[in-house]
Amino acid sequence: MNVTCSNDFNSYCSTLQGSTTYESIYEPIIPRPASRLPSHSNNLNYVQYVNSPKLNASDCAGNLSIVGSINTSRCSTPSYPSPRNNSLQNKEIEVNVLTEFLVQSLDTGTGVENYGTCFKCNGRVIGENSGCTAMEQIFHTACFTCAQCTVNLQGKPFYALDGKPFCEYDYLQTLEKCSVCMKPIMERILRATGKPYHPQCFTCIICGNNLDGIPFTVDATNQNYCIADFHKIFAPRCCVCMEPIMPKPGEEETVRVVALDRSFHFECYKCEDCSLLLSSEAEGRGCYPLDQHVLCKSCNAKRIQMLTQRI
């Protein structure tokens, strides 16, 4: 008695194992504020410190204007050490500077110039070289520090963010970082599956081709794949040719034949003896297995006859 195998012609589409195809989306990114240099009261020329070609430091225009003065003559400014990273040290320096200015003015009979009120400490900015202008505000040089790490920004590039000055390092820490290279995203931010990327870093994990603007998918570990490579890795393989069963270029689905718990390309589902293309839908082309061999009806009968003759 002949036994036919149960075969199933499944439509295998481009979405595999619950995966989803996605389109990458660009999010607007707040333009990076230009780096600046605080303008000193005596118009000193500071050396620009630039870490990369993309960071363009530029001098802020304008000098401190005299708000009021005791006399028109100027006194020299004593030197003082750079402040440490705490507000107490800055206050001590400011007090020392003001004290020396007052002593000089009493000894020499000269006056000291009042440039206005420091935006940070609300103290008077008195004497040449004691202050600087930045973000359209007046600061003591000791008070003009990074809002995050408190490093003094006198003569250094800084970034104005929400009305506060930041050193270059701390400004970069405020930016989102690429999920691949972990570097700050300075310009365009590409977001896919909830993660930020540099456009050039958003690539297929297999072939390395850029996925910007084209459909892609992810595996169970959220690794990114182009559609073709995802099929090559995860698509079921034909038990005859061992190639993945996947849609042809330009197509979204293909046919997978399942018989004897094995997968076949439609064109590989043939009788093992005569290579007749098998199909449960065509008369006389059904599958008649024998000892796990895929056979047509005629070849099945021949094998059974040969086995019978040997007995």
Over residues 185-226, the pLDDT tens digits come to 988 899 988 899 999 999 999 999 999 888 899 988 889 999
Q: Which residues contact 17 (CB under 8 A, 6 or more apart)?
A: 234
| Model confidence, pTM | 0.52
| 3-class DSSP assignment, residue 186 | coil
Domains 36-173 and 188-233 belong to one CATH topology: yes
Number of Cβ atoms within 10 Å of the Cβ of 257? 24
Q: Based on C-alpha coordinates, what's the Rg of the chain?
A: 38
The CATH code of domain 7-16+235-310 reads: 2.10.110.10
Tell me which residue of 228, 240, 229 sits closest to 275, measured CA to CA: 240
Distances (CA, A) of 176 to 48, 51, 168: 26, 19, 15
- Residue spans of the domains in the chain: they are 7-16+235-310, 36-173, 188-233
HSE at residue 130, side-chain half, CA atoms within 13 A, is: 30
How far, in Å, CA of 288 to CA of 271, rounded? 9
Q: Which residues contact 33 (CB under 8 A, 6 or more apart)?
A: 159, 160, 161
Whole-number pLDDT of residue 248: 81
C-alpha torsion sign, points 101, 105, 110, 114:
positive
Buried b (16+ CB within 10 A) or exposed e, 59-73: ebeeebeeeeeeeee
Q: What is the pLDDT of residues 112-153, one digit of tens each?
A: 677 889 999 999 888 777 888 888 899 999 999 999 999 999
Contact 271, 278 (CB under 8 A): yes
pLDDT of 90 higher than 70 = no
* CATH class of the 188-233 domain in this structure: mainly beta
The CATH code of domain 36-173 reads: 2.10.110.10
